[in-house]
């Protein structure tokens, strides 16, 4: 029977590839480099067996899951590579355009040169990040002057001690409303700020980290983050940012 055939295929190999990562991340939404490094972990299918190892691997990368289900890598098919490496393997397929998603999986041959070629396998993905030319938006913010005047007027001091209690600097709060005219199939939000920011859509927190975009020299580099907000959008929406 068909079920029996699948069971035989699953018994052919002792290992499978799991915990797929791209640049050390699980399903990252913004990978800037054109040849990201891929890695995976080997998992034993039979916990009682020992001395298991990988003899070879094959990486398949496709534009959709349907191709992977058919073992078609229309973006990249590494073919069978005799190697025990499981990390730092550079993507060698068709370059991705900004915002494009690539799905991938790995076939691994065990120490006895057996592979789960009929097993669907674990599937991961990564999205290509934005290129410099894709950044067309302008910085938005409050008018200059939110910093306390007493701090702005400080100058070099020699012998005198100046004490000041200017109070807290006001928090920058931005809001914008927008509407969607039809059902949203997919929505991704790219965001950053000159300093820690908190982002919300319709009152729900989007970024869970409290230190985004993390420290850099803002005069040289500002990191950005990408968020999948497909499930957060309604017909009418309000996006808010505190900084």
- Global confidence as pTM: 0.81
Q: Where are the alpha helices (DSSP H) in 2-161?
A: 2-12, 65-69, 149-152
* Residue 110 in tokens: 């065990």
Domains recognised in the chain with CATH numbers: 2-132 (2.60.40.10), 170-242 (2.60.120.260)
What confidence category does residue 71 fall into, taking pLDDT thresholds of 50, 70 and 90? Answer: very high
Alpha-carbon span 238 to 201, nearest angstrom: 6
Instruction: Please compute the mean of the pLDDT values over residues 50-69 and round it to a whole number.
Output: 95
What confidence category does residue 137 fall into, taking pLDDT thresholds of 50, 70 and 90? Answer: confident
What confidence category does residue 81 fall into, taking pLDDT thresholds of 50, 70 and 90? Answer: very high
The pLDDT, as a whole number, for residue 1 is: 32
Closest to 121 in 3D by CA, of 137, 132, 108: 108
DSSP string over 112-141: TS-B-TTS----EEEEB---GGG-------
The pLDDT, as a whole number, for residue 117 is: 65
What confidence category does residue 136 fall into, taking pLDDT thresholds of 50, 70 and 90? Answer: confident
Instruction: Please compute the mean of the pLDDT values over residues 198-209 and round it to a whole number.
Output: 93
């Amino acid at each position: 029977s068909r079920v029996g055939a699948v069971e035989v295929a699953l018994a052919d190999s002792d290992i499978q590839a799991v915990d797929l990562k791209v640049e050390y991340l699980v399903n990252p939404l913004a990978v800037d480099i054109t040849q990201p490094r891929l890695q995976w972990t080997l998992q034993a299918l039979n916990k009682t067996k020992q001395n298991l190892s990988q003899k070879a691997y094959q990486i398949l990368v496709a534009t959709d899951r349907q191709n992977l289900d058919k073992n078609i890598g229309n973006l990249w098919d590494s073919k069978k590579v005799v190697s025990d490496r499981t990390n730092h393997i550079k993507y060698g397929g068709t370059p991705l355009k900004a915002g494009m998603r690539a799905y991938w999986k790995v076939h691994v041959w065990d120490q006895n040169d057996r592979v789960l070629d009929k097993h669907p396998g674990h599937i991961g993905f990564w999205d290509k990040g934005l290129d410099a030319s894709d950044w067309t938006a302008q910085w938005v913010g409050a008018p200059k002057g939110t910093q306390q005047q007493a701090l702005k007027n400080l100058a070099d001091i020699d012998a005198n001690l100046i004490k000041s209690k200017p109070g807290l600097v006001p928090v920058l709060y931005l809001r914008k409303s927008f509407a969607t005219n039809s059902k949203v199939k997919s929505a991704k939000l790219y965001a950053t700020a000159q300093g820690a920011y908190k982002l919300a859509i319709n009152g729900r927190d989007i970024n869970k980290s409290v230190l985004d975009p993390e420290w850099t020299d803002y005069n040289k580099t500002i990191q950005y983050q990408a968020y999948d907000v497909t499930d957060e959008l309604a017909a009418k929406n309000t996006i808010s940012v505190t900084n």
